[in-house]
C-alpha cells in the first residue's frame, strides 16, 4: 500500500527524476520525467505535485493511488450500523419485524 508520506519524500528529493511517479505506479510519466530531467520542466512539475500532495487528504490519496473507494468505507459503515441494529434488537428496543426489515434494507445497500 502506497503512503502519502513516502510519495511526499520521493517527490521532494527525487521529483525531478520522476521517483514519485514510479512509486505511484505511473511508469510512463516517470520515464517522461527521466527523459526531460536535464530541463527545468520536471522540477517545476514536481514542486507543484509536492504542494498538491501536501494539501491532499489521506482519504483522497488512498482513493486516487491505492484504489480505495467510497464503497469500502460504505461497507465498514454498514457493518457498524448492522451491529448497532443488532444491539437494539438484543436490548428489546425494536421488534423482530423492525429488525428484519431494517437489516434487509441495509444489506441491499451494501
pLDDT of 80? 84
Write out the three cell numbers for 40: 527545468
What is the tens place of the pLDDT at every residue in 53-80? 999 999 899 989 988 655 555 667 778 8
Q: Please tell me the least confidently modeled range out of 16-30, 46-60, 81-95.
A: 81-95
**Burial letters for 90-104: b for 16+ Cβ neighbours within 10 Å, e otherwise?**
eeeeeeeeebeebee
| Mean pLDDT, the chain, whole residue set | 89
Which residue has 467510497 as its cell numbers?
70
For the cut 90, the answer to whether the pLDDT of residue 14 exceeds it is yes
What is the tens place of the pLDDT at every residue in 92-102? 888 899 889 88
**Every domain of the chain and the residues it spans:** 4-65, 70-109
Write out the three cell numbers for 72: 469500502
The DSSP element (H or E) to which 9 belongs, if any, is: helix 4-14
Alpha-carbon torsion (90, 91, 92, 98), positive or negative: negative
Amino acid at each position: 500500500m502506497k503512503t502519502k508520506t513516502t510519495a511526499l519524500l520521493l517527490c521532494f528529493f527525487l521529483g525531478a527524476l520522476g521517483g514519485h511517479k514510479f512509486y505511484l505506479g505511473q511508469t510512463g510519466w516517470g520515464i517522461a520525467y527521466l527523459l526531460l530531467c536535464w530541463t527545468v520542466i520536471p522540477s517545476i512539475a514536481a514542486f507543484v505535485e509536492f504542494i498538491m500532495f501536501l494539501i491532499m487528504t489521506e482519504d483522497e490519496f488512498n482513493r486516487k493511488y491505492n484504489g480505495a473507494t467510497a464503497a469500502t468505507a460504505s461497507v465498514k459503515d454498514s457493518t457498524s450500523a448492522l451491529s448497532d441494529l443488532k444491539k437494539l434488537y438484543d436490548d428489546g428496543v425494536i421488534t423482530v419485524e423492525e429488525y428484519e426489515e431494517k437489516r434487509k434494507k441495509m444489506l441491499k445497500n451494501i
